[in-house]
Amino acid sequence: MQKTVKDYIRTIPDFPHEGILFRDVTTLFADARGFRMAIDQLLHPYAGARIDKVVGLEARGFILGGAIAHQLTKGFVPIRKKGKLPGRTIAQGYTLEYGEAVMEVHEDAIAPGEKVLIVDDLLATGGTCEAGIKLCERLGAEVVGCAFVVDLPELGGRRLLERLGMKVHVLCEFEGA
């Protein structure tokens, strides 16, 4: 039987808090075939689409986004946690499963009118990606899509992003939080 992307992802119970089933994509990244499969499948819906930059959300989105940007021969833009970028930045606060945080992007990372694809490993509540979308749009970009390896549908992130008008692409889903 041929493996799917989901087969490469391990579940770690009670991390980072009791009752949480953490979906660990590092096992996917560590397997050459699994990683290539994920990158190819994340790219597939955007074949032929105009994309100027790939945006990766900290931290595992950097791994995926960098590989996708390489495949597309496009630039890569990291959106990072507050205080991690050395240049002038703009910031966006958001809520996530376990609290609140602030994301930043360099103010010159994306030019007005550029089309961007946002990439991350996991879609839970959608707060991190929503902050990324807002940062990109504040810089004048058009977000052409949001791509994730894993969706946790019970947490409602996909519904949130679709209400914002985003096209959402996910490779697999896991039930539970």
User: Quick one: pLDDT at residue 137?
Assistant: 98
pLDDT of residue 95: 85
- Given the residues 58, 97, 107, 142, select the one marked as catalytic: 97
pLDDT for res 84: 97
> Any catalytic annotation for residue 114?
no
Question: Where are any strands of DSSP class E within 46-154?
Answer: 53-57, 75-81, 89-96, 99-106, 115-123, 142-151
Q: Is-contact 137 129, C-beta < 8 A?
A: no
Q: Are 133 and 57 in contact (CB under 8 A)?
A: no
Distance CA 77, CA 106 (A): 9
CB distance 114 to 138 below 8 Å: no
Q: Residues 23, 58, 60, 158: which is the catalytic one?
A: 60
Q: What is the DSSP string of 25-53?
A: THHHHHSHHHHHHHHHHHHGGGTTS--SE
Q: What are phi and psi of 153, to 5 degrees?
A: -60, -30
- All domains of the chain in start order, with CATH: 50-173 (3.40.50.2020)
pLDDT in the model for residue 98: 66
Whole-model pTM?
0.96
Rounded distance between C-alpha atoms, residue 104 and residue 158, angstroms: 22
Per-residue pLDDT of the chain (177 residues), as tens digits, is: 899 999 999 999 999 889 989 999 999 999 999 999 999 999 999 989 999 999 999 999 999 999 999 999 999 999 999 999 999 999 999 987 667 899 999 999 999 999 999 999 999 999 999 999 999 999 999 999 999 999 999 999 999 999 999 999 999 999 876
121: which 2 tokens? 């490993």
> For this structure, is 97 an active site residue?
yes
